[in-house]
A = this chain, B = another copy of it.
Amino acid sequence: MIIQLETGISAERKEKVLSELESRKLKLVDVKTQLNHYLVALGKTDFDLRQIGHLKGIRDIHVVSDTYQLVSKKWKTSSSQIDLGDGIKIGDGNLALMAGPCSIEDEEKTDIIAKFLASQGVSIMRGGVFKPRSSPYSFRGTGIEGLKMFHRICRKYGIRIISEVMQVSQIAEMYDYIDVFQVGARNTQNFNLLDELGKVDKPVLIKRGISGTVDELLQSAEYVFSGGNEKLILCERGIRTYETSSRNTLDLNSVPILKEKSHLPVVVDPSHGIGIRDFVEPMALAAVAAGADGILFEIHQEPEKAASDGAQTLNFEEAMQLVKRTRSLFDLRSSW
């Protein structure tokens, strides 16, 4: 059960609400986010809601029976939106395109990509500086210095940055140089990291786990939300199955399902989702047709020479076509 409190509720009134709820043996979680103040009440809610609904200081009460509460659409039926400023928005009627190299490399290369994206009106750039790698001997990214350079370049072009955070200690380090924290597929259930991201006032994009369920993704988002950060984006990126003709099995079923279960924006990463450069565009189009709020994909001026993931990375020409087509498909969808 979610009890939305009035902003600036007095200590006295809040006390009264709390004691009323506790008297019903509900476990309470007090959640203050950037935007609102909620009480999540866990336990049996089979009493007459009016008994507490009349209390002063309560804005609204919603009974939610899912394993996730605050991210559920059952209490917040309108779509949430992330506003990154300068008209750059994710969710609720916008098509957010986020593109960039798998790994941030040197300054010159990064500048060329940022400039290209700006020329296409793509206003969010992705790029990893901390890279999770199965093998300890693989390239692990350029680190925080790479991020600072990346940030400098993006500011020049008015572009926002999304980049992966792998552990708690990187949050503070990255904070000043980033617009959206990305939680990778191997960290979807890194609960300590999610707890800490709940305390931060920057949007967080959470990728679905390598073999994560839709419900687990929503519960991971609930971690961040209940920690105090409601600026959240969900990302489908393919799951692990027995099929070997593609890198992952992009589960586009999850798009309409997530959008019905949750009010959060849902974006899709077709690059990891199929892992084959020639098919990134059709899968991006399919994602938009299925209802996605955005596309996260990999580009590089010379995919063959990219530091990682070259086989699924588009060159500029391919990217231009993807951008143009996903937009015209999004326009068609919006007209319905």
A residues adjacent to B (C-beta < 8 A):
27, 29, 40, 42, 67-69, 132-137, 166-169, 186-187, 189-195, 209-211, 213-216, 219-220, 222-223, 226-227, 238-246, 249-257, 260, 273-274, 276, 278-279, 282-283, 285-291, 325, 328-329, 332-333, 336
Contact = CB atoms under 8 A, between A and B. Distances in A.
Contacts of A291: 282
A88 to B, nearest CB: 25
Q: Max chain B CB contacts within 10 Å: which of A135, A274, A288?
A: A135
Given A279-B256, A283-B253, A168 B166 contact: no
A169 B250 CA distance: 35
Contacts of A288: 289
Nearest to A168: B167
Given A67-B135, A133-B191, A210-B209, A282 B290 contact: yes
A42 B219 contact: no
A218 to B, nearest CB: 10
B243 A239 contact: yes
Given A69-B137, A134-B189, A210-B211, 7 more contacts: A136-B223, A243-B253, A256-B279, A256-B283, A286-B290, A325-B336, A329-B332
B257 A226 contact: no
Contacts of A257: 245-246, 276, 279
17 contacts: A40-B137, A132-B189, A135-B222, A137-B222, A167-B167, A167-B192, A189-B210, A213-B243, A213-B245, A240-B242, A246-B257, A249-B251, A249-B253, A253-B273, A255-B282, A257-B276, A282-B290
A205 to B, nearest CB: 18
Contact of A328 (B187, B256, B332): B332
A253 to B, nearest CB: 4
A141 to B, nearest CB: 11
Nearest to A321: B336
Contacts of A333: 285
A118 B208 CA distance: 42
A92 to B, nearest CB: 17
A241 B133 CA distance: 23
